[in-house]
């Protein structure tokens, strides 16, 4: 039970040890994982020089959602709070759904980061990678499993040990991209931005690059900040500042990295246009550095390429047990997952489950590219529920103390929800078909099992939202049937989002 100031008396095992530097490092460190290493080449393939616009669109989208999270995070600084927001606003069934989405996304993301580290380590250690697609050998998979085991041991020691290691790793992770930007921009060729047209694949390329090219995946580092909110000193002040700092700094760095990639690309890689540039540059910044004769930079990129994704995987392995803890608090997981280990403040059963799931995800999806659309869709769906939770809480709990109260909420919150909806749709029907089906079946099964009419009243909008997403995606141009093409697809997505937003805001449960 939460009191009127958002305190959770059941979270007695957690210790508030994290300050602004720790939290900002968690945010920036979770954003800068494998995304910066691979995404520049992938979005270059999809959108060409116009990929710069894609990074800006992605940054604005995440900033809008981040502003909503600022209000929620300052008002309800709870462990695993990304699950607690929908539970607080729309009841346990909504919390269950968020738990499913976030657990799938976080556990698979941990795997992606470890896989990315192994792929880059293959430049040094023969025998880790089996083929050009980046699939692991048995030896490579064993190394991945051992790295995951080492991260598990770090997180068993508690949040203070985790934060100390993470701060050191993240400082290094920032220095290498900064050096890449400086040195590659010194070799900039302006003609690269226009040689085959600034927008060679049209506006659709810009849109697709945002969701499936790795841009949204690269930006999605906000929720780890919120997952450890129960362990933050002065959370009402620290959480909003850390969120905004992480997003703003990351947007600037990502745009500059993309400009450096496009501008420094040797002309021979563009002889046949922007198609399959990524295939010719399996380790993009490393390969460009070697082509330009920057051997030391190439070496540092490989070092960072191993350390950076591993550090991000460590952040999510710390965040996921707290999400599972919050999921159990909602009453839809066994009570043993609510237990926090004395002395360390670690949800031990949640950490065990997080480790097991992360290891599992390395089995059927052995490459970075294979997992990216699943993770991006799952994470963006979880982000999309933040504006609806905030809107419902504004109606049902107007007196809840909000140290950060978002100005222009009536406009910004539905805009954030609409943008998140569009990015989910841009992922494509192939991914959404099974993802939405699984979520609907799980939610339906829970609600039939609980047999409570109020669950239907508070979460009926979710079924309509998922069904609407499926219909628009099936009809659209992204792996769909092209019934809705161009602007019609986007307009349909925006209309769906605005209808669902109003419905969700009016469906909140009373405190």
Q: Is residue 459 part of a domain?
A: no
**Rounded to the nearest 5°, which phi and psi values hold at 331?**
90, 15
How far apart, in Å, are the Cα atoms of 434 and each of 98, 107, 371, 481? Answer: 17, 18, 14, 16
Q: Is residue 208 part of a domain?
A: yes
What confidence score (pLDDT) does residue 366 get? 43
Q: Which has the closest alpha carbon to 262: 274, 251, 279, 271?
A: 274
Q: Is residue 300 part of a domain?
A: yes
Q: Is residue 391 part of a domain?
A: no
Number of folded domains in the chain? 1
One pLDDT digit (tens) per residue for the chain, 511 residues: 343 344 443 444 677 778 888 888 888 888 876 677 778 888 888 888 888 999 998 888 888 888 998 899 888 888 888 888 998 999 888 888 888 888 888 888 888 888 888 887 886 788 888 876 677 888 989 999 999 999 999 999 888 888 889 888 888 888 888 999 999 999 988 888 888 778 877 777 787 787 667 787 678 777 888 888 888 888 888 889 988 898 888 899 999 999 999 999 888 888 777 877 877 887 788 889 998 999 999 989 888 888 888 988 999 999 999 999 988 887 777 888 888 887 778 899 999 999 999 998 887 554 445 555 666 677 778 888 899 999 999 999 999 998 889 999 999 999 999 988 988 887 788 888 888 888 888 878 877 776 666 777 888 899 899 999 999 999 988 888 889 876 788 899 999 999 999 999 999 887 6
Sorted by sequence, the CB contacts under 8 Å of residue 450 that are 6+ apart come out as: 92, 93
Q: Which residue has the tokens 């949204």?
A: 216
Q: Which has the closest alpha carbon to 400: 99, 88, 94, 11?
A: 88
What confidence score (pLDDT) does residue 492 get? 95
What is the 3-class SS of 226-262, one letter each residue? HHEHHHECCHHHHHHHHHHHHHHHHHHHHHHHHHHHH
Taking the C-alpha atoms of residue 314 and residue 320, their distance in angstroms, rounded to an integer, is 10
Q: Is residue 429 part of a domain?
A: no
pTM above 0.75, yes or no: yes
Q: Is residue 475 part of a domain?
A: no
CATH of the domain at 30: 1.20.1740.10
The answer to whether 266 touches 281, Cβ cutoff 8 Å, is no
Q: Which has the closest alpha carbon to 324: 293, 301, 357, 292?
A: 357
Q: Is residue 201 part of a domain?
A: yes
What confidence score (pLDDT) does residue 269 get? 82
Q: Is residue 458 part of a domain?
A: no
Extract the tokens encoding 204: 């659709």
Domain range for 71: 22-377
């Amino acid at each position: 039970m939460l009191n009127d100031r958002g305190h959770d008396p059941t979270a007695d095992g957690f210790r508030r040890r994290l300050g602004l530097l720790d939290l900002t490092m968690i945010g920036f460190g979770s954003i800068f994982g494998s995304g910066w290493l691979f995404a520049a080449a992938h979005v270059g393939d999809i959108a060409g020089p116009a990929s710069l616009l894609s990074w800006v669109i992605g940054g604005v989208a995440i900033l809008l959602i981040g502003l909503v999270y600022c209000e929620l995070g300052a008002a309800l600084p709870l462990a695993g709070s990304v699950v607690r927001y929908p539970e607080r606003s729309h009841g346990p069934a909504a919390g269950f759904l968020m738990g499913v989405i976030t657990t799938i996304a976080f556990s698979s993301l941990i795997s992606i980061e470890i896989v990315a580290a192994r792929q880059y380590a293959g430049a040094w250690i023969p025998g880790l990678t089996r083929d050009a697609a980046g699939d692991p050998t048995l030896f490579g998979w064993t190394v991945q499993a051992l790295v995951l085991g080492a991260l598990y041991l770090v997180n068993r020691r508690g949040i203070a040990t985790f934060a100390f290691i993470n701060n050191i790793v993240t400082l290094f992770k920032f220095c290498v991209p900064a050096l890449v930007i400086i040195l590659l921009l010194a070799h900039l060729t302006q003609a690269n931005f226009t040689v085959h047209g600034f927008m060679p694949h049209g506006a659709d390329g810009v849109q697709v690059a945002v969701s499936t090219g790795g841009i949204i995946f690269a930006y999605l580092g906000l929720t780890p900040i919120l997952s450890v909110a129960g362990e933050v000193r002065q959370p009402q002040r620290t959480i909003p500042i850390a969120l905004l700092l992480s997003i703003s700094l990351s947007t600037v760095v990502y745009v500059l990295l993309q400009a450096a990639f496009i501008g420094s690309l040797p002309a021979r890689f563009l002889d046949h246009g922007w198609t399959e540039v990524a295939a010719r540059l399996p380790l993009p910044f490393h390969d460009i550095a070697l082509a330009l004769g920057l051997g030391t930079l190439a070496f540092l990129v490989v070092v960072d390429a191993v350390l950076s994704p591993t550090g991000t995987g460590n952040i999510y392995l710390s965040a996921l047990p707290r999400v599972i803890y919050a999921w159990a608090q909602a009453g839809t997981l066994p009570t043993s997952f609510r237990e926090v280990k004395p002395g360390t403040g670690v949800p031990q059963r949640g950490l065990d489950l997080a480790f097991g799931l992360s290891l599992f995800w390395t089995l059927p999806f052995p490459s970075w590219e294979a997992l990216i659309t699943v993770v991006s869709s799952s994470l963006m769906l979880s982000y999309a529920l933040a504006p609806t939770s905030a809107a419902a809480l504004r109606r049902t709990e107007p007196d809840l103390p909000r140290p950060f109260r978002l100005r222009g909420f009536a406009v910004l919150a539905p805009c954030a929800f609409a943008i998140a909806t569009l990015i989910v749709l841009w992922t494509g029907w192939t991914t959404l078909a099974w993802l939405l089906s699984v979520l609907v079946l799980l939610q339906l099964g829970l609600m039939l099992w609980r047999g409570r009419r109020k669950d239907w009243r508070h979460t009926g909008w979710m079924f309509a939202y998922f069904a609407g997403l499926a219909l628009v995606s099936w009809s659209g141009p992204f792996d769909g049937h092209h019934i809705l093409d161009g602007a019609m697809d986007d307009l349909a997505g925006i209309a769906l989002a605005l209808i669902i937003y109003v419905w969700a805001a009016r469906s909140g449960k009373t405190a």
